[in-house]
Structure 1
Amino acid sequence: MTDGAFDGPVYHVGVTPVPYTVERDPEADAVDLSMTADATVTVSAPPNATPADIEATLDARRAWLLDSLYGLAARPRRGRRFERSEKLRYGGRRYPLTVAESQIDSPRLTFDGSRFLLRIPRRGATRDARRRAVHEWYLDRASDVLPECAADVAPESPPTVCVGSPDRRWVRDAGDRLDLHWRLVLLPRPVAGYAVAHALVRRAHDPSDPEFWTALGARVSNPQSRGTWLRRNGGRVRI
C-alpha cells in the first residue's frame, strides 16, 4: 500500500501509518516481518514474493503489529506503586504525584492542573487499590475530554463516541459511533484529535487514496507528523 505522504510503501495499522521497507532474501522461503526501534517495519521476502503476498502477511500479522506499536492490552507497569515523587501522564505531559493520608475509606485521585494528589486512608492502601483509583480518574476524565476532542475535529457534525478499552486499538469505528480508548487522554491533545479525525476520514477515503491526506489535513494540521508521533511513542504512553 503506497501513501503519498511518506516515501515508500506504508501500511496502516488502525490510525497509525507504518512505513515499511522490503528486503529480498534469496534464502527466505516465506515473507516475514521485523520492527525497528523507531517502529519502522522491515519485510523480508523471497525474490518471487508479490506485493499481494506482502500485503497478506501484513494483514495476518496485524495483531502483532498492534501489540508492538501500542501495547493497549491491559498490562500492569512493573514497579509502579503510585507513591510520592512518581509522575503521571496527562495530555502529553508528565505531572508530579503527591500522596497524602486522609479520613476516607478508599483512595481517590485529583488533579489541579499542575500536580496529581492521591489521597489514601490513614490505614494505608494496597498497590491494587491505588491503581484502581488512578484508573478510575483517567476513565472519568477521558469520558469528559475525548468527546470534546471529537467535536473539535468534526464541529459540523460531532460523532457519537463511547470511551472504554476497544481491543488493541486507539479508535474503533462501530458504524453509528466511535469507540475511543481511554488512554487517548494521555496523549497530546493534537495527537488524540488526529486519531479521531483519521477514523472519520477513513469512512469516506481509503488511506491509500491521494484524497485521504487532503481530507485529513482539512480537519487537523500536520497529520503526517502526528501520525509519526503516535507510531513512535504510542506504545510507551501508559500510566
Structure 2
Amino acid sequence: MRQFHIGQTMVPYEIDWSADRETINLAIDDTLTVTVTAPMEASYDDIEETLEAKQEWLLEKLYGLSEQSGPPYPKEFLSGEKLTYRGREYPLHVEESDVRQPELFFDGDTFTLSVHSYDAPSDHVSVRRKRQAVVDWYVDRAKADLQQRCNRYQSNVGATKITVDVCELSGRWGEYENGVVRLNWRLILAPVRIQDYVVIHELVHSTHSDHTDGFWNAVGSLLPDYEERREWLRVNGRTLSI
C-alpha cells in the first residue's frame, strides 16, 4: 500500500499492474482506497503524475456527495414528522388554513405548515406542493444565514468584494469563481460548524485556486479541525435532503 498526499490529505492507494492495459486508470472502492490499474511499462513517476492530474476528481470522490450513504426516507409532510435546521431536528405540525399555497413557519421550537384543505391528504400532488413550501423556506433561510457566515469570515481570509449566490448545486456543496462564492442551499440543514467549513473553503479559493499545501494551511489557520468537519460532511452529506 502506497500513499499520495493532496495537501494534508493522505490518500492510500495500491497498484494493479496489468499487461492488458495501455493507460493508467483510477478507481475508489467502499473503503476509500484508490486502486491504480497501470500497464506493466508504467513507472512510479507516471502513476504519481496521473494522481497529481486527478487531484480534483479524487477529492470529489473522497469528500463529495457520491460516496455517501443514501438520503433519508421521503417525507409526506404530516404532523409528527421532523424537519432539520442547522443540524437539529424540530417537530412538524400541519394545520389547515385559508391559504392558496402551503406556507411554512418556524418559531424556534416547532415548524408549522399551513395548508389548504385540499392539500391535507398525502397524494403525490399535495406532497409535492407541501415539499415546495418547505424548500422555499429553506432557500430563503439559507440566503440569509449563509450570507452572514460569509460576511463573518471574508476579512479573515483576505477576501474582498465577494458575491454570495445560494442556489442548487449538483454534486458539490460550494464553488468559487471570479469573485462569486456559490453555496448549496442544503447546507442550511447542516450544523453551523459544517456550514463554516464550506464557506471558509470557498472563500480561501479567492486567494488559492488549487488545493495546495498553502490552501489547506490557510483553511487550517481558521479551522484547525477542518479535516474532522470535512469528514462529517463526507459521511453525512446525503442526509442533508428533504
Class of the TM-score when normalised by the shorter of the 2 chains = 0.7 to 0.9
CA 1:181–1:70: 2 relative to 1, 3 Å:
farther
- Contiguous gaps of at least 5 residues in structure 1: 9-19
Which residue of structure 2 lines up, in the alignment, with residue 144 of structure 1? 144
Return closer, same or farther for 1:60/1:195 CA change in 2, 3 Å cut-off: closer
Take 1:21 and 1:161, find their aligned partners in 2: how far apart are those partners? 35
Q: Distance in 2 between matches of 1:69 and 1:93?
A: 23
* Residue matched to 1:208: 212
Are residues 1:36 and 2:30 paired? Answer: yes
Which deviates further from its counterpart, 131-140 or 51-60?
51-60
1:118 alignment partner AA = L
Residue of structure 2 equivalent to 1:87: 82
Aligned partner (choices 51, 56, 59) of residue 54 of structure 1: 51
Q: Which residue of 1 aligns with 2:230?
A: 227
Q: CA deviation at 1:154?
A: 1.8
Percent of aligned pairs with the same amino acid: 31
The alignment covers a number of residue pairs equal to 221
Residue 133 of structure 1: CA displacement?
A: 0.4
The CA RMSD measured in Å over matched residues stands at 3.0
How far the C-alpha of 1:175 sits from its partner, in A, is 0.8
Structure 2 unmatched runs, 5+: 121-125
How many Å separate the matches in 2 of 1:145 and 1:171?
15
Whether 1:117 aligns to 2:112 is yes
TM-score (norm 2): 0.78
1:78 Cα deviation (Å)?
A: 5.4
User: What's the CA shift for 1:141?
Assistant: 0.7
Tell me the TM-score normalized by structure 1.
0.79
CA drift at 1:159? 2.6
Structure 1: distance between partners of 2:17 and 2:71? 42
CA–CA separation in structure 2 for the residues paired with 1:60 and 1:181: 19
Q: What residue is the counterpart of 1:25 in the other structure?
A: 16
Structure with greater Cα Rg: 2
- 2-structure distance, mates of 1:218, 1:56: 26
Q: In 1, Cα distance between the equivalents of 2:136 and 2:128?
A: 12
2:205 equivalent to 1:196: no
CA deviation profile, 1:25-82 (whole Å, cap 9, x unmatched) = 2347352312426xx34224236361223344565688877451479xxx99753211
- Could you say if the C-alpha distance between residues 60 and 142 of structure 1 is closer, same or farther in structure 2, counting changes exceeding 3 Å? closer
